[in-house]
């Protein structure tokens, strides 16, 4: 395991910056040009930061979602290397990308910063298998740069759920129901959830439901990547 790679993680080209991605690979990363500010899905009308049709019909429990990338190759490749090959340097790259995205995002500047950041928790069995929580590894450098504390002791993933990737949206919701429990009272009014990938949104929606039931006013999501129907 290494913490700093002087070469681009995608093409092997030498890099001068501290992000371990060369300029051209960085430019080529898939992005969603205009997306719904509430769920992060692509908008047909191309008007950035408006609501998609589905959110207009029924507002999701999260108040906003900011993501850096479209979950497609090579982002999917980098995410799986982080999760399954222990390439922890990718968490640093992702954190850096998210920070850059936040700084450039109008929404980020128009609302107050959250009081705490909560990385989407892993079940302790999965944490043991993997050895680390990728969401926490991504949240840590962000927390340091923005001086917002990370909280890992507030919510526990109580249910050991089947791998979400094998299920469809309805099954995912069923699979995740009541899977999180609050272990301490929450005083924060504005919380951001950090995750590597938001796929259907079920996980962050479930967490937001729980937090709002406890009186949290605003729940946002900062995710490295957002999957769409076209994600591979």
Q: Does 35 bind Zn ion (CB under 5 A)?
A: no
Residue burial 149-171, b: 16+ Cβ < 10 Å; e: rest: ebbeebbebeeebeeeeebeeee
Q: Which of 19, 29, 32, 39 binds Zn ion (CB under 5 A)?
A: 39
Check: CB of residue 202 under 8 Å from CB of residue 172.
yes
Q: How far is the CB of 25 from Zn ion (least distance, A)?
A: 3
Tokens of 32: 């969603």
Check: CB of residue 61 under 8 Å from CB of residue 207.
no
- CB of 39 or CB of 210, closer to Zn ion: 39
**108: helix, coil or strand?**
helix
Q: Does 22 bind Zn ion (CB under 5 A)?
A: yes
- CB of 13 or CB of 171, closer to Zn ion: 13
Q: Does 55 bind Zn ion (CB under 5 A)?
A: yes
Q: Is the dihedral of CA 55, 203, 63, 216 positive or negative?
A: positive
- CB of 24 or CB of 181, closer to Zn ion: 24
- CB of 10 or CB of 91, closer to Zn ion: 10
Binding residues for Zn ion, total number by CB under 5 A: 11
Q: Does 10 bind Zn ion (CB under 5 A)?
A: yes
Check: CB of residue 180 under 8 Å from CB of residue 154.
no
Q: Which of 43, 52, 82, 197 binds Zn ion (CB under 5 A)?
A: 52
Q: Which residues make up the interface to Zn ion (CB under 5 A)?
A: 8, 10-11, 13, 22, 25, 36, 38-39, 52, 55
């Amino acid at each position: 395991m290494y913490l700093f790679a002087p070469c681009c993680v995608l093409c092997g080209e030498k890099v001068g910056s501290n992000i371990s991605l060369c300029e051209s690979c960085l430019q080529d990363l898939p992005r969603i040009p205009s997306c719904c500010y509430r769920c992060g899905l692509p908008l047909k009308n191309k008007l950035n930061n408006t609501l998609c049709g589905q959110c207009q019909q029924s507002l999701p429990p999260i108040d906003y979602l900011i993501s850096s990338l479209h979950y497609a190759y090579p982002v999917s490749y980098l995410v799986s290397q982080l999760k399954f090959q222990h390439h922890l340097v990718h968490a640093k790259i992702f954190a850096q990308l998210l920070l850059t995205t936040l700084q450039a995002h109008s929404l980020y500047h128009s609302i107050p910063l959250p009081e705490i950041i909560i990385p989407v928790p892993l079940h302790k069995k999965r944490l043991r298998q993997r050895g680390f929580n990728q969401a926490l590894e991504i949240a840590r450098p962000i927390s340091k740069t923005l001086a917002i504390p990370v909280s890992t002791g507030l919510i526990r993933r109580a249910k050991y759920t089947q791998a979400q990737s094998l299920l469809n949206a309805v099954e995912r919701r069923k699979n995740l129901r009541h899977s999180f429990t609050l272990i301490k009272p929450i005083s924060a009014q504005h919380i951001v959830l950090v995750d590597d990938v938001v796929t259907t949104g079920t996980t962050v929606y479930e967490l937001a439901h729980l937090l709002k039931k406890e009186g949290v006013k605003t729940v946002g999501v900062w995710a490295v990547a957002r999957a769409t129907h076209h994600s591979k």
